[in-house]
Amino acid sequence: MSFKLGDFFPKKQINEPYLELADPRWSELEGGYRASGYDASISLRKLEKAANAKEVEEVYRELWEDLHHQGDLGPASYYAVPHMVRIAKENKIVTWDVLGLVSLIEIQRHKDGNPALPKALYPVYSKALSMLQDLVAMILDNDWDTSTISTALTALAIAKGHLKLAEAVQNLDDDDRIEDFLEQYG
């Protein structure tokens, strides 16, 4: 049996419908590293100010690292989802990062060991997931590599409520995996 530091000193539970980025309670939330807090609002405010895809990618490196760790999520992961979607849509900068990280958070949310989505957040969180289809539509005319196509299809499946299909497609993100799948099922 293993224990995490957070098991002995759990963070205070927050059950709000939405946290503005200026809300000081962000510092009370845990991300993927549950033994310590992660104030995602700092990175999300940087994301709001990002002017191009390169700057967005730099911010997402931190968000990928701290909102998700080896399958683990925390409440900061859930509260960040509506902001990531909103910012991508408002700034009209949609990269595979927003589609991939939001999709991954939703897929991992249903795995054992991850905290429940705060009930009050559910309507806003669900709306953000449904808006993933709008983000995919914004980049339809772009050139896509295999990873982007897989991520976009995963996001569409999430937006339409097909969690198992999303998880399956998420794992078809390179040519070798696609070949293996086709050999087995084609």
d(CA 42, CA 178): 37
d(CA 83, CA 71): 21
pLDDT at residue number 89:
97
Helix (H) or strand (E) holding 57: helix 53-67
Could you please report the per-residue DSSP string of 123-177?
HHHHHHHHTHHHHHHHTTTS---HHHHHHHHHHHHHHTT-HHHHHHHHT--SHHH
Q: Is the pLDDT of residue 11 over 90?
A: no
pLDDT per position as a tens digit, 14-32: 888 999 999 999 999 999 8
Closest C-alpha to 78, from 68, 88, 93, 70: 68
Residue with tokens 């760790």: 69
Domains of the chain, residue spans: 5-140
pLDDT at residue number 37:
85
Q: Bridge partners of 30? A: 37
pLDDT at residue number 13:
79
pLDDT per position as a tens digit, 85-118: 999 999 999 999 999 999 999 999 999 999 999 9
